[in-house]
Structure 1
Amino acid sequence: MLQLHAQETSTISGIISDSLSKETLIGVTVRVISNGTTKRGTYTNKFGYYSLPNLTPGEYTLLISSVGYESKSLTLKTTNTDSRLDIVLKQSANRTQEVTVSANREEKASQYTNTMTLSTEFLKQMPAIGGEVDVFRVLQLMPGVKSVGELSSGLYVRGGSPDQNLTLLDGVIVYNPSHLGGFLSTFNSDALKDINLLKGGFPAEYGGRLSSVLDMTMREGTKEKITGKGGISLIASRLTVEGPINEQSSFMVSGRRMYLDAITTLASKDIRENSPTYYFYDLNAKVNYQLGENDRLFISGYFGRDVLKEPESAKDQGSVFNIDWGNTTFNTRWMHIFSPKVFTNFSLIYTDYQFGTEIGQTASGSGGSSSSFFSSFSKIRDFMMRGDMQYFAGEDHLIKIGFEGIQHQFFSNATDSIGASFNELLLRTTSRNALEAAFYAQDEWKMTDALSMNIGSRLYYFQNGNYLAFEPRISGRYTLSDAWNFNASFARAHQFLHLIIRNNIALPTDLWFPSTETIKPSMSDQITGGVEYISDDQVWRFTADAYYKKMSNLYEYKDTASFALGLPLEDQFTSGRGEAYGIELFLNKRIGNLTGWLGYTLSWATRTFAELNQGRTFYPRYDRRHDLSLALTYKLGDSWELGATWVYGTGQAFTMPTGKYVVRDFTYFGFSGWTRYAYDYSQRNGYRLPAFHKLDLNFAHRFTWFGLPMVFNINIYNAYNRLNPFAQYVVNEYDSASGKSKPVVKQLTLFPFLPTIGLQFSF
């Protein structure tokens, strides 16, 4: 028995970590039990810290539990002296008794309404092309989260676009968290230890985006010994190395490289000349240093770059495209415990993001030549300072306050001027500087044993336009019984950065533009409500959620936008509004040899712009009425595991020709009297592509080779060879029966039945 001495109440606090790696553990449940009844409960924060304030003198049992770890029970006797109690947990030997997806953990209810926490172990069991597991592709299987096709790893959460998601890696904003082609997100799963997606009603500590928050924490590096893990697949390889520097510090380095460019150099001349040059790399690094019992220093960074260039054959035919983007981030974070009740962390952050597009086409004929060209450049450089404090005020209150200041530097330009080089575009691009500042305060308040609330607000300032915004946030959770819980939330959010893309160009043309005096900040109000049921044995969990979101000051290019070099870019934008609402159902089997979930979403998303679609409301491309997903893993034995996913979605909204008409007597290359046929199109996205559905499988075999643990993966993409439409278009084909040409609808399909293999190893 532990005996703790000396004032009328005392506080027990400490850090909980893994017994071997000494990696701090996030979301560990800590309960105070007296006479068989839970008197108090809390959870560890992102740094593994917990605090139980205002405990009256007495004898208690401390019960500590976490997913994938053996529970620990400690008996202690408190008097009236604050006590530090650091705890280590051992990993559970029975890995099948593991919750793979969780939400609204009991003690986190007031903070994490509408949140999904994804297990990294479950992530690695999901099907993936070549064994390259992708965080975003698994999150797309969650209800309320959609994609726009097989070439997109972007997250479209509850009717919002990908730029409306706040993506955080160790507290650092990542502006474009996808690699080109959408094959993979920019996050190597081997470098991650915690993944949380907040789909709505997020608390005041998060801000700057309208729709959702994806908050990920990197591994700190084991203090036990030098270890590593990696993977080799048909498209990319990765390697992670971590270990101690000395007794007080550790490191983690994780890198990945896609080598499609190297593979094509080994192919035949015909394949080399017709294949684009494409590669990407990303690198994560983190060092953590323990300055003392109450102080830790973390230094982390992320570096990534994508390059896509046209094939030689396309260049010979007059087609040119060159797309290049990359992210660089640094973060220095200091964690300091002022007292058992006051926990703080402060960060200095640098971010550099850029995206460049150069697309051109030159066609020559007997009558002359014609050219089309588009070039865009977007760059954001941020210097950020952030501070957060948690005050464990008492048994029923956890108060969080914080601030952040960001000095932005924006570079944005676009042109379709023929002959204007990309270098000329860069020379004519001017920078815009803006200060963004925010302050937040929130209280996680346990009003009664049954009712918990999270009440907070966020105050924003944005220098361009002198915008001052107030954002109220409130969420609540009512526990009817051990099995049934109800939740509701309201959140207002503003977004001062706008992602503008050209919808009439298939290749990426991302351009970030800040709010100005004429470009207003986007705003959203979201209301959610839901119910949760958890079975007595904790095996089954069912949730049903409904949401409504209203958005204003959304921006797109005008249909008549002009990109002549020198014209003000913001004059080419038009503003509109949006709505999104729906119902989400989620059934999750969380423990056992068979785990996974079934999710269904019924939803609507609309947009209305006065200068688009003749002012009529239209559906964005990612609007899907019905979305169904099934994700399962099954342990076949000690060495074999099966992962399977099946998805079904209503066809995407699409713009298609509805008729054809004749244009007479027009001038072409200086000659008049020409006649041509033109198509009349539907309303914007007024047509639906056929439904999308496919089955993916993953067979994983665990074995040991030369004393090293290995996992061999066989992945089958699109197992029953469904020819899902990526796009449809109309061409004229000659009909031999009638002797005339007639329009025919053609379909573009990307990926048929596709088996791949991959090998993972650790040392």
Structure 2
Amino acid sequence: MVNKTLLLFISFFLVVSVSIAQDSKEKLALSSLLLDLEKTYTIKFSYSDTDVKNIFLEQPKNGITLDALLLFLNEKTFLQFKTLDNRYITVSFLNKNVSVCGFVLNAKTLDPLLLTSVKVNGSKIGTTTNSEGVFYLNNIAINSTISISFISFKTKTITTKDLFSNTGCKQLFLEEAEEELSEITIDNFLTSGLQKSDDGSTVLNTEKFGILPGLIEPDILKTIKILPGVESINETVSNINVRGGTNDQNLILWDGIKMYHGGHFFGLISAYNPYLTKKVTVTKNGTSSRFSDGVSSTINMKTSNRITNKISGGGGFNLLSADAFVQVPIKENLELHVSARRSFTDIINTPTYNNYLSRSFQDNSIASNAINNSESDFYFFDYSIKLLYDINYKHSIRTNFIHIKNNLEYLEQYTSNNTIIEENSTLKQENLGARISWDTDWNSKFSTSVSAFFSGYKINSTDDNRDTDQFQTQFNNVLETEIKLNSKYEFSDVLHFSNGLVFNEIGIVNRTSVNAPTFSKIEKDVLLKSALFSEIEYRKKNTYARFGFRTNYFHKFNKFIIEPRINIRQELNTEISIKLEGEFKNQTTAQKIDFEDNFLGIEKRRWILSDEENTPIMKSKQVSFGIDYSKDKLYLDITGFYKKVDGITAANQGFYNNTQTINFIGNYEVQGVEFLVNKKTALISTWLSYTYAKNNYTFDIFDPQTFSNSLDITHSLSAAFNYNFTKDLKVSLGGILRSGKPYTKPVVGNETIQNGNRTIVNYDNPNDQNLDDFFRIDISGSYKFNISDAVKSTFRIGFTNITDRKNILDSYYVIDNSSTNNVRRVDSYSLPFTPNLSFRVRF
């Protein structure tokens, strides 16, 4: 038995050895083959050793003619064999045309990439890959280069010489690329899915989102509040304050559509579904000249922009709502993305809903009339649709639609003089948006994008008070349309030049009507503006620089505003970098805050438009300088900044004082320092951030003229600790401690004054007092598990304000004839201890 086994092994070894020997005979080094052929045919080859190096081919047939031999050599190699006479033959790759093919694959999944663009640089020759990812090019120069590109993948450049093969099509692997221009420099910043870019912006990749204290999903606007310099004075996402600015000074874009409304449940949660919103970029300074408005920040959200040709999706629920999303290929070059979310708060009352409701309606009719026969019907929903169409390898079309809505109906019944009286009030708030874009890669260096969007915001409320026989309606409507042309020319891999034109029109309507006494007011404003922008971007080794300008023309005012932008980052060595950012920006829309015309005690904000008289165009100037250090997963960042915004109005600032209804024009000026330290290990990520900022108003009509901004938070300290028990089980604990908000008290001993027939609060100097410090601790946990090989699931649980601290967010005073000094202080409080959980599946 052993002998037979040994005999079989020896036989196998001999067979393999012969096969190898035969194969080695079939494949010969070209340099050796040419020497043999010179002797056989009495000829002389003239060539460079470099040209024939590393070329192997099979032995030509014996006895063939010289012409047949040269034809064989020309077909089997990328070299050009050309006879000078009967004896001398030149060998080179100059003026040689060949046919090549390639097999293009996704480097990560190894899936073939359909309709990949294949372009011979410097010529009009090009093609696309077929359904198997294969392409063919005929009669192209051997010394040419070929660019292979696919949307959302890094472009690959290869020489025809390297692509040429006499054994079949070569495999070419493309790697996925980030959609933003700026390369990611710090991955998994603070938590997985948060990243820092070359240009200083912060990127949230929702697909890779890890865990943050208190959050049970990657809520887009809640997540960015962990960044230094980003606060929320009243802990809502509808009032995000970036470096001391108001919420309306943030430019919020969803797939290129300007959005005027960002929150559900009166700002307590984000209105943008994160599960199709692939990437969010937050820029506080040094903004690209492509963007206007947003004198405080730019929040740019983008959904998935690549055709995957695979059905995928998911869904889930938490204690407020349920949602689902799906990506469906219709054809090889056509795909549909859909997401939808709706609350079930009008059906089920959960502890989370009850706390959110109490937080939203403090000290108002809903909260105070709980003993009466009253009920509230509140729900919200949002949905988005995106259609992706690749015409060919050069042209692609994308269309988007989004709809966000909040709806509240409040019914109260009570008895008066033995008569049952019903009062029905409503509040509807919604934002619609649509966009279409046409993107073209004309060649490997030049590309263009033409887009147009429509955005419509509307808030409509009715308040029925049968006791006074008064019916009041309030309406605010914003309509904006924009057409934009972008172009980009790549001089090289390190130098890009971008230009663009923008035509924009905004119309705003505000209407108020009361039946008793009869009163009606309608205000309509329209503004047309055009802009030209240009910027150059340089990125090489340790240097990133972007210089741009934007020229804005306002047709109604016959006025130009020129805005320079600068963004520089320089690595001094492998550990230390410095950065300089600066910008001029303008903004023509703002929110007016209504206190007297409120609804059920809810402060409402109405959009208004600049008229250059009562409401000027806001203009900002900002500069920042910082230094960061990164080594061994330790990251330190310290940045100093200065910002001044001119053209603000007192009606936009939310003053509680005697001048809150008078429209004065002024400015605010903020200067400060942001500090962040983040340390990561394989299991732990912990960070601490601190912001010091001094934020002051200047209004010439006030006394004193300069005083604390209503959004002034002098000190803000936050810290968090993430721990990964396993790859799938994670926990996050964190807290925030910050200075209390400024507020205005009445004059002690003289709390009220007469204003005609009315008694009003006699306020002291504005914002000369501060509330108690704000302190909150949150915790959350996450566990991932697979239901099957194709279906993955995640369970998360979060607790907000685990110490149940009663933080005062704001204070104001109202007339109360029952008190000794005729005034009563009204405090609004933060969320109490609030649990929430979510369960999600994805396929």
Could you say if the C-alpha distance between residues 229 and 207 of structure 1 is closer, same or farther in structure 2, counting changes exceeding 3 Å?
same
Map 1:454-473 onto structure 2 (within 5 A).
454-473=546-565
Could you say if the C-alpha distance between residues 16 and 724 of structure 1 is closer, same or farther in structure 2, counting changes exceeding 3 Å?
farther
> Could you say what secondary structure the match of 2:706 adopts?
coil
> Could you say what secondary structure the match of 1:176 adopts?
coil
Could you say if the C-alpha distance between residues 621 and 376 of structure 1 is closer, same or farther in structure 2, counting changes exceeding 3 Å?
farther
Deviation at residue 230 of structure 1 after TM alignment: 1.3
Map 1:135-534 onto structure 2 (within 5 A).
135-220=220-305, 223-263=308-348, 273-312=373-412, 322-358=426-462, 376-414=474-512, 418-420=516-518, 429=522, 431-446=524-539, 450-503=542-595, 505=598, 507-518=602-613, 519-534=615-630
Amino acid at match of 2:383: L
Contact 2:751 2:823 in 1 (8 A): no
Partner of 1:31: none
Contact 2:477 2:508 in 1 (8 A): yes
Could you say if the C-alpha distance between residues 486 and 169 of structure 1 is closer, same or farther in structure 2, counting changes exceeding 3 Å?
same
Which piece of structure 1 moves more, 243-252 or 216-225? 216-225
Partner of 2:736: 647
Which runs of 5 or more residues in structure 1 are unaligned? Answer: 8-13, 25-56, 562-570, 669-675
Deviation at residue 696 of structure 1 after TM alignment: 1.2
Q: For 2:177 and 2:549, how far apart are their aligned partners in 1?
A: 39
Quick one: which of 548, 551, 568 aligns to 2:642? 548
**How big is each residue's C-alpha offset from its partner over 1:697-753, in whole Å with a ceiling of 9 and x where there is no partner?**
112222344774222222111112212113446799999xxx999988675434222
Could you say if the C-alpha distance between residues 85 and 298 of structure 1 is closer, same or farther in structure 2, counting changes exceeding 3 Å?
farther
Q: For 1:731 and 1:380, how far apart are their aligned partners in 2?
A: 32
Q: For 1:148 and 1:375, how far apart are their aligned partners in 2?
A: 29
Contact 2:372 2:414 in 1 (8 A): no
**How big is each residue's C-alpha offset from its partner over 1:570-601, in whole Å with a ceiling of 9 and x where there is no partner?**
x9633111111110011234663323532211
Q: For 2:338 and 2:784, how far apart are their aligned partners in 1?
A: 24
Q: Tell me the TM-score normalized by structure 1.
A: 0.77
> Could you say what secondary structure the match of 1:327 adopts?
strand
Which piece of structure 1 moves more, 225-234 or 192-201? 225-234
Q: For 1:579 and 1:664, how far apart are their aligned partners in 2?
A: 32
Residue 711 of structure 2 is aligned to residue 622 of structure 1: yes
Deviation at residue 631 of structure 1 after TM alignment: 3.7
Map 1:572-583 onto structure 2 (within 5 A).
573-583=663-673
> Could you say what secondary structure the match of 1:292 adopts?
coil
Map 1:556-571 onto structure 2 (within 5 A).
556-557=650-651
> Could you say what secondary structure the match of 2:288 adopts?
coil
Q: For 2:530 and 2:243, how far apart are their aligned partners in 1?
A: 27
Contact 2:411 2:425 in 1 (8 A): no
> Could you say what secondary structure the match of 1:136 adopts?
helix
Q: For 1:691 and 1:412, how far apart are their aligned partners in 2?
A: 37
Deviation at residue 634 of structure 1 after TM alignment: 2.2
**How big is each residue's C-alpha offset from its partner over 1:7-46, in whole Å with a ceiling of 9 and x where there is no partner?**
9xxxxxx99978559899xxxxxxxxxxxxxxxxxxxxxx
Deviation at residue 547 of structure 1 after TM alignment: 0.7
Contact 2:653 2:710 in 1 (8 A): no
Could you say if the C-alpha distance between residues 742 and 177 of structure 1 is closer, same or farther in structure 2, counting changes exceeding 3 Å?
closer
Deviation at residue 755 of structure 1 after TM alignment: 2.2
**How big is each residue's C-alpha offset from its partner over 1:415-472, in whole Å with a ceiling of 9 and x where there is no partner?**
6784458xxx5xx6354333221110001135x8554421110011122222211111
Contact 1:98 1:592 in 2 (8 A): no
Amino acid at match of 2:243: R
Which piece of structure 1 moves more, 747-756 or 170-179? 747-756
Contact 1:376 1:509 in 2 (8 A): no
Which runs of 5 or more residues in structure 2 are unaligned? Answer: 1-53, 56-77, 80-92, 96-102, 114-142, 164-170, 179-185, 355-368, 656-660
Q: For 1:530 and 1:295, how far apart are their aligned partners in 2?
A: 41
> Could you say what secondary structure the match of 1:436 adopts?
strand
**How big is each residue's C-alpha offset from its partner over 1:553-585, in whole Å with a ceiling of 9 and x where there is no partner?**
112339999xxxxxxxxx963311111111001
Partner of 1:47: none
> Could you say what secondary structure the match of 1:138 adopts?
helix
Contact 1:558 1:572 in 2 (8 A): no
Amino acid at match of 2:708: Y
Amino acid at match of 2:608: F
Partner of 1:116: 202
Could you say if the C-alpha distance between residues 746 and 102 of structure 1 is closer, same or farther in structure 2, counting changes exceeding 3 Å?
closer
Contact 1:221 1:251 in 2 (8 A): no
Partner of 2:793: 710
Amino acid at match of 1:690: D
**How big is each residue's C-alpha offset from its partner over 1:396-418, in whole Å with a ceiling of 9 and x where there is no partner?**
42111111111323212346784
Q: For 1:429 and 1:744, how far apart are their aligned partners in 2?
A: 34
Deviation at residue 617 of structure 1 after TM alignment: 2.3
Contact 1:501 1:556 in 2 (8 A): no
Deviation at residue 498 of structure 1 after TM alignment: 2.2
Could you say if the C-alpha distance between residues 681 and 270 of structure 1 is closer, same or farther in structure 2, counting changes exceeding 3 Å?
closer
Amino acid at match of 2:626: G
Could you say if the C-alpha distance between residues 223 and 657 of structure 1 is closer, same or farther in structure 2, counting changes exceeding 3 Å?
same
Of structures 1 and 2, the one with the larger relative CO (CA 8 A, separation 6+) is 1
Deviation at residue 523 of structure 1 after TM alignment: 0.4
**How big is each residue's C-alpha offset from its partner over 1:253-275, in whole Å with a ceiling of 9 and x where there is no partner?**
11111221222599999799545
Deviation at residue 299 of structure 1 after TM alignment: 1.1
Could you say if the C-alpha distance between residues 664 and 225 of structure 1 is closer, same or farther in structure 2, counting changes exceeding 3 Å?
closer
Deviation at residue 313 of structure 1 after TM alignment: 5.4
Partner of 2:697: 607
Amino acid at match of 2:778: D
Could you say if the C-alpha distance between residues 80 and 550 of structure 1 is closer, same or farther in structure 2, counting changes exceeding 3 Å?
farther
> Could you say what secondary structure the match of 2:573 adopts?
coil
Amino acid at match of 1:530: G
Deviation at residue 235 of structure 1 after TM alignment: 0.8
Partner of 2:808: 725
Amino acid at match of 1:656: K
Contact 1:329 1:351 in 2 (8 A): yes
Could you say if the C-alpha distance between residues 621 and 597 of structure 1 is closer, same or farther in structure 2, counting changes exceeding 3 Å?
same
Question: For the pair shown, which has the larger CA radius of gyration, 1 or 2?
Answer: 2
Q: For 1:559 and 1:223, how far apart are their aligned partners in 2?
A: 47
Contact 1:661 1:679 in 2 (8 A): no
Deviation at residue 74 of structure 1 after TM alignment: 8.8
> Could you say what secondary structure the match of 1:310 adopts?
strand
Could you say if the C-alpha distance between residues 631 and 351 of structure 1 is closer, same or farther in structure 2, counting changes exceeding 3 Å?
same
Partner of 1:125: 211
Could you say if the C-alpha distance between residues 276 and 743 of structure 1 is closer, same or farther in structure 2, counting changes exceeding 3 Å?
same
Could you say if the C-alpha distance between residues 417 and 489 of structure 1 is closer, same or farther in structure 2, counting changes exceeding 3 Å?
farther
> Could you say what secondary structure the match of 1:465 adopts?
coil
Q: For 1:704 and 1:271, how far apart are their aligned partners in 2?
A: 48
Deviation at residue 206 of structure 1 after TM alignment: 1.4
Could you say if the C-alpha distance between residues 191 and 464 of structure 1 is closer, same or farther in structure 2, counting changes exceeding 3 Å?
same
Amino acid at match of 1:533: Y
Amino acid at match of 2:591: L
Contact 1:526 1:548 in 2 (8 A): yes
Partner of 2:687: 597
Amino acid at match of 1:655: T
- Give the superposed CA RMSD: 4.5
Deviation at residue 385 of structure 1 after TM alignment: 1.0
